[in-house]
């Protein structure tokens, strides 16, 4: 999505540790009209998306980018929650996620009420790097016995292994913008 | 908002500790079309809202309910973040919030880039009970020197002191649905 690449170039900040901050329109301040555009671009990425019965993401910043997609598809958005307590009962699907950013593990949970084997699920999230969060979401879909249409992310760090690993497992993972490398504090995108 | 009261009656669950769960459409699974309706209802609650230059909420579930309001007003949505690390530099406004649910304090932060003294701010959040989160958001607006139009919440627990305290301080706080009491596991609403 060229408009997204343009905004990343113009407004993104590359921080030490290969962190890209896009706080100006996606992760802290949200440009709602632009996220609607991104929603339409996700629909073009996944020709099968109109079979979806649910859009799935994970709190917090995933909610903003997934909501326009759910609106365009006229289906509910479900967001997995980061578990805050250890007493999670068996009414939830639970998956373990490793966070490299904060160097710890956490659990994401999804109520069994909101996903079943009859669902067709499109996963939407903001970033894909090592793929830990996305793997957790796919795990939740599989636990539910639901059918996964695919997983769309706004920005993929193509130089990290998450996307490749998931595609090798057969999942349809697509990105609106794929970063090939950070070079001297600026961003080089992969060819389409 | 009658449609919201109807859904709370029909789909809400009252748990011990006067907790109302509305996971079916607001806090876990999100009914996007219904949240758009709620967005329009917020606009009716605040005749002055068209002066807004920013909508402010706090992650995570506030994002879903605040986004339609920002869309309708054609202004950016900014969400305060729950601080994850102790090394917050002076590029952020910081406010301390007490969470009764989890019996601890946490900090919410807002980049100074995304709110200044020229902004007119409408705060939107999902729940108002003791008012701790809303007080924190108001504190951030005040630190920025911005002008606060008001604060709209989807559901207020009118039997808890948060709303009254904030109104006594002169803030324009309004709710789409105000709960007067929980009685034998069911919900009684305040008169309009």
Taking only the tens place, the pLDDT of each residue in A12-34 is 999 988 899 999 999 999 999 99
Q: Provide the pLDDT for residue B45.
A: 97
For B124-141, the pLDDT digits (tens) are 999 999 999 999 999 999
Cβ density class A50-86: b for 16+ within 10 Å, e for less: eebbbbbbbbbbbbbbbbbbbbbbebbbbbbbbbeee
Contact between A176 and A155 (Cβ < 8 Å):
yes
Contact between B140 and B117 (Cβ < 8 Å):
no
Interface check A31 vs B, CB under 8 A:
yes
Interface check B74 vs A, CB under 8 A:
yes
Chain B residues with CB under 8 Å of A84 CB are 102
Interface check A93 vs B, CB under 8 A:
no
Mean pLDDT of the region B89-101:
88
What is the end-to-end Cα distance of chain A in Å, rounded? 9
DSSP A53: S
**pLDDT for B65 beyond 70:** yes
**pLDDT for B37 beyond 90:** yes
Mean pLDDT of the region A159-163:
96
Interface check B46 vs A, CB under 8 A:
no
- Residue among B16, B17, B23, B30 with most chain A CBs within 10 A, to mutate: B30
Packing angle between helix A32-45 and helix A2-11, nearest 10 degrees? 140
Q: Is residue B85 classed exposed, middle or buried when 0-12, 13-18 and 19+ CB atoms within 10 A define those classes?
A: exposed
Query: A110-114, B50-54, B82-86, B162-166: which has the minimum mean pLDDT?
Result: B82-86
What is the end-to-end Cα distance of chain B in Å, rounded? 10
Mean pLDDT of the region B29-56:
97
CB-nearest to A28 from B23, B81, B102 is B81
Mean pLDDT of all residues in chain B?
94
Residue B104 structure tokens: 């601890």
Contact between B165 and B132 (Cβ < 8 Å):
no
Interface check A61 vs B, CB under 8 A:
yes
Interface of A with B in 120-179 (CB under 8 A): none
Tally of CB atoms within 10 A around A22: 20
Mean pLDDT of the region A89-114:
90
**pLDDT for A83 beyond 70:** yes
DSSP B27: I
**pLDDT for A44 beyond 80:** yes
Q: Provide the pLDDT for residue B42.
A: 98
The residue among B76, B87, B94 whose CA lies nearest residue B136 is B94
- Residue among B15, B21, B22, B32 with most chain A CBs within 10 A, to mutate: B32
Percent of chain B with pLDDT over 70: 97
Judging by DSSP bridges, how do beta strands A19-21 and A54-58 pair with one another? unpaired
- Residue among B17, B55, B76 with most chain A CBs within 10 A, to mutate: B76
DSSP string, A149-180: EEEEEEEEETTSSHHHHHHHTT--EEEEEEEE
CB-nearest to A114 from B28, B64, B111 is B28
Q: Provide the pLDDT for residue A17.
A: 86
CA angle A140, B27, B155 (to 5 degrees): 170
ipTM computed for the complex:
0.94
Mean pLDDT of all residues in chain A?
94
CB-based contacts of A4-7 (< 8 A; 24+ apart in sequence): A4/A38, A4/A41, A4/A154, A4/A155, A4/A176, A4/A177, A5/A177, A5/A189, A7/A34
Contact between B64 and A62 (Cβ < 8 Å):
no
Answering whether pTM is above 0.80, one says yes
Model confidence band, residue B87 (pLDDT cutoffs 50, 70, 90): low
């Amino acid at each position: 999505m060229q408009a997204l690449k343009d905004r990343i170039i113009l407004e993104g900040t590359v921080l030490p540790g290969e962190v890209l901050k896009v706080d100006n329109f996606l992760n802290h301040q949200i440009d709602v009209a632009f996220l609607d555009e991104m929603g339409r671009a996700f629909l073009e990425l996944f020709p099968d998306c109109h079979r979806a019965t649910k859009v799935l993401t994970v709190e917090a910043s995933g909610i903003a980018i997934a909501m326009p997609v759910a609106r365009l598809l006229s289906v509910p958005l479900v967001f997995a929650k980061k578990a805050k307590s250890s007493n999670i009962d068996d009414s939830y699907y639970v998956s373990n996620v490793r966070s490299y950013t904060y160097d710890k593990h956490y659990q994401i949970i999804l109520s069994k009420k909101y996903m079943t084997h009859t669902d067709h699920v499109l996963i939407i999230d903001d970033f894909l790097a090592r793929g830990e969060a996305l793997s957790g979401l796919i795990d939740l879909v599989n636990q539910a016995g639901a059918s996964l249409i695919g997983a769309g992310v706004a920005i993929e760090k193509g130089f990290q292994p998450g996307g490749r690993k998931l595609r090798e497992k057969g999942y349809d993972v697509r990105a609106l913008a794929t970063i090939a490398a950070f070079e001297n504090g600026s961003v080089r995108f992969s060819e389409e």
